[in-house]
Structure 1
Amino acid sequence: MAAAASRSKVLGVLGRLQSGASSCPCHSHAHSHFHPTAGTFNSLLKYGRNYVQAQDTDYAFEMAASNIRFGAGVTSEIGQDLNNIKATKVAVFTDSNLVNLHPVKAVIESLERNKVNYVLYDTVRVEPTDTSFKSAIDFARKHNPDAFVAVGGGSVMDTTKAASLYSSHPEADFLDFVNAPIGKGLPIRKQLKPLIAVPTTAGTGSETTGTAIFDYEPLHTKTGIAHRALKPMLGIVDPLNTRSMPAQVHAASGLDVLCHSLESYTALPFNQRSPRPKDPIERPAYQGSNPISDVWSLHALRMVVEYLPRAYKDPSDFEAQSQMLLAATFAGIGFGNAGVHMCHGLSYPISGLNKTYKHPGYNVDHAIVPHGVSVALTAPAVFRFTSASCPDRHIDAAAAFGADPAHIKESMAGEVLAEKLTRFLEDLDVPNGLGALGFDSSHIPALVEGALPQHRVTKLAPAGEPAAEEIAKVFENSLSNY
């Protein structure tokens, strides 16, 4: 009887929480996204044991991010950083496009000036695959460095994370740490070697996150590895390193920041995600929206709206480039803890199934849909679909694009946001939907099949994991956007 009474009290507390959600400054509208307030925490402390026993959803979130150093020219300090951690052999990873450009030259000059012993791997694949990851892993295992440096965009940083992980686990099978259901999704229990990330694009935010994404060729889809242990020790965020980006790379990278912000802000709340981890090490990096990530994500969204069009249209606009680099880092802190959902989950088969489309501005010898483009093409349809679950958050997002929230009915939140997104994409010369990449209705079953295994992210949609027919409808509605 006592246990039942305590359970009743706990449920009463949760009911008051739900009805009082509007008191939280990060969740100012009363809807299903709720988080405990200070008063509620006191109540939960009192009834904590029964609360834990009564609930299957999580009750906590963690905030994890890399140390970040920002400033024009700060790349020159990296040699001193490596001496400070007493690194004796450093593996520098980059790609063939960057190896002769300023960012890599600045890193190498700093290493040599500070007498840091290093080896160079300069064949990272843009939009990496399991094959290219394995090549980088073999290099790291052969040279056995005690520190890593990644100089490049998300492809380079993610490849370096994988090389570091598997060089520290020489006995591991490649799929051991890859996200389930494609891999085993094992937690990382060893401490990895220090990694310093030097981003050269304003997009992925990979310098702040524990995520490494790649194309898994056997299934023609993207997947990845996600764990806090993969986070770089330090992100060196230097605006001088993005000045060589072509306009289309600026746009594509910035679109990734856009969707990181939108998806993490509208993600399922952390305390509605299940199952609750049995061990804290099993708590996923992508935990659901939470009051801290919300701040970073919404601010990053406002920065993208203001600065991405400027950075794209005027390559000499150094302020816009710098602010976009900061926005990428801010969004990385947000989504690196909250997660992303449908835009990213649906983007992976778009990239994986592309055989012929090659995006302008990318100097590669293979077909490529840049990650940011593949993510953004479904965004208008995605947010039409998700708006009913948390219309207030979609209104907040529309307001970041300049809409007047006072004049947006909740029933129209998704449509208003989708329209703002469509015009934003059109102004950046983004391809007009999936049809512009060569997809048509006949490809939708394969796209859906590729999206279904991505439940690590799609289950964080605000209403939970979408059904196959709902995913198919979003793809259909994304064939043309303008």
Structure 2
Amino acid sequence: MGCCHYPAVKEGCDSAFTVDTSRITFGPGCLREVGDRARALGMKRVALFSDARVARLPHFEKVRQSLLAAGLDVVVFTDVHVEPTDASFQEAARFASESRPDGYVSLGGGSVIDTCKAANLYATHPADFLAYVNAPVGEGRAVPGPLKPHLACPTTSGTGSEVTGITIFDLLSLSAKTGIASPALRPTEALIDPDCTATLPGEVVAASGLDVLSHALESYTARPFVHRPAPARPSLRPMSQGANPWSDLGCREALRLMGLYLERGVKDARDTEAREQLMWAATLAGIAFGNAGVHAPHGMAYAVAGRVRDFRPSGYPQDEPLVPHGLAVIVNAPAVFRYTASANPERHLEAAGFLGADVRGAGSGDAGEVLAGRVVQLMRAVDVPNGLSGVGYTAEDVDALTEGAFPQQRLLQNAPREMTRPVLTQLFHQALRYW
């Protein structure tokens, strides 16, 4: 792999990587294709998943009517929980089991798409809830076979869930997020219509956009795939393979687009160019991290979101406390990249440059500060909270946050430096405030 500028394969590690993604259709107005696409996949009885807010928007009726016009029977589930929980996943799975669809369409943000993935899984292959959940929180059991076809239609420019085999939820008993990861969960197709983002509040664009930014940064700086232990069989190669030449392509372009368009897309809903480019960046970063994996900022985020007390962000439902996923991730990111930069300073400097930082004259010892500084600059430009303190945490919460994050080994082991409990504690302290 020398031509790709990757290090030599470590003894006992993998020498190859695998590329997977959903089929993608991207472009303004492409939601009108959903009925024909669903019928082409052999669907006759479709479960249409959304949430209560999206169900009141014109996009929802456009999708429903497209399905009906294609001659399909449609059953609707709109009780998706924003930032879903194990309880809300199980409610959705009960709906799917009782309605017995032969295919699924999800229309919404990551919460909707993730809930649809979980419903499809548990209705198709029933099991105790923790059976498929990532170890060590759950059993980490392999999904035993294919799922029903799933057409994912994202309405936010952020999670990338429409092209990944990952579904994330709050495990209420742990007060932390965890997830299920399997290639079987990856939607069959994604219809990505940037027109859907025209109605998004700026606060939602900021949070989802910063999630995209961290997807790309984490995938680009992840442990190289040639440093990951080789699987017992090639078919067991994990989705989180580490940084690889394929994921690098998406990361570089996603970072460039985020540096150019994030602030514009947040500040002006009428800036259709910016919002379309943010949607494309989200797709590219989703494909990248779906094959490389993310690392510590996301692993730490699961504790940040799961232990929220009273933070209620503008632009989101106000009926309960919530740290939106993108905010839960980005409040950790500058601290993490200051720490991980020494593992590969060149990569961290390259990433900063793609984001628009001035890296002229910067040396390897400056890499962490240059990248963290550019992330902080973007955070301030789009008016997100100042670190963990901005979403309601204090130094007294750091030990609990550490204990919530440490079980996220699927993510933490993908980091380029070791993430022990003491390291996580140090990083959470450093993430309390940035300015």
Query: Which TM-score bucket, shorter chain as reference?
Result: over 0.9
Partners of 1:35 and 1:290 within 8 A in 2: no
Cα distance in 1 for residues equivalent to 2:384 and 2:242 = 29
1:353–1:380 CA distance, 2 compared to 1 (3 A): same
Question: What are the residue-to-residue correspondences of 1:256-271 with 2, within 5 Å?
Answer: 256-271=211-226
* Residue 472 (1) aligns with residue 425 (2): yes
Question: What are the residue-to-residue correspondences of 1:176-215 with 2, within 5 Å?
Answer: 176-215=131-170
Q: 1:409-450, CA deviations, whole angstroms, 9 ceiling, x for partnerless residues?
A: 101110111111111101110101111222111100100000
**Deviation of residue 56 (structure 1)?**
2.5
Q: 1:383-422, CA deviations, whole angstroms, 9 ceiling, x for partnerless residues?
A: 0000000000011011123334341110111011111111
**Deviation of residue 35 (structure 1)?**
5.9
* Residue 438 (1) aligns with residue 385 (2): no
Local SS of the residue matching 2:55 = coil
Instruction: Provide structure 2 residue ranges, at least 5 long, that are not aligned to the other structure.
Output: none
Question: What are the residue-to-residue correspondences of 1:121-200 with 2, within 5 Å?
Answer: 121-170=77-126, 172-200=127-155
TM, length-normalised to structure 2: 0.98
Cα distance in 1 for residues equivalent to 2:136 and 2:59 = 37
Cα distance in 2 for residues equivalent to 1:254 and 1:329 = 11
Return the match for 1:79 from 35, 59, 71.
Answer: 35
Instruction: Provide structure 1 residue ranges, at least 5 long, that are not aligned to the other structure.
Output: 1-16, 28-32, 37-53
Cα distance in 2 for residues equivalent to 1:103 and 1:227 = 29
Partners of 1:310 and 1:320 within 8 A in 2: yes
Partners of 1:124 and 1:159 within 8 A in 2: yes
Cα distance in 2 for residues equivalent to 1:438 and 1:311 = 27
* Aligned AA (2:82): V
Local SS of the residue matching 1:349 = helix
Cα distance in 1 for residues equivalent to 2:69 and 2:44 = 15
* Residue 301 (1) aligns with residue 255 (2): yes
Partners of 1:223 and 1:348 within 8 A in 2: yes
Corresponding residue number in structure 1 for 2:207:
252
Corresponding residue number in structure 2 for 1:452:
406
Question: What are the residue-to-residue correspondences of 1:300-449 with 2, within 5 Å?
Answer: 300-449=254-403
Cα distance in 1 for residues equivalent to 2:314 and 2:379 = 16
Cα distance in 2 for residues equivalent to 1:73 and 1:313 = 23
Identical aligned residues as a percent: 45
Partners of 2:339 and 2:368 within 8 A in 1: yes
* Residue 287 (1) aligns with residue 250 (2): no
* Matched pairs, number: 435
Cα distance in 2 for residues equivalent to 1:448 and 1:281 = 33
Local SS of the residue matching 1:301 = helix
**Deviation of residue 223 (structure 1)?**
0.4
TM, length-normalised to structure 1: 0.88
**Deviation of residue 103 (structure 1)?**
1.8
Corresponding residue number in structure 2 for 1:108:
64
Corresponding residue number in structure 1 for 2:47:
91
Local SS of the residue matching 2:190 = strand
Cα distance in 2 for residues equivalent to 1:35 and 1:74 = 43
* Residue 277 (1) aligns with residue 236 (2): no
Q: 1:431-480, CA deviations, whole angstroms, 9 ceiling, x for partnerless residues?
A: 011112221111001000001000100111112x3111111111001110
* Aligned AA (1:459): Q
Cα distance in 1 for residues equivalent to 2:363 and 2:19 = 33
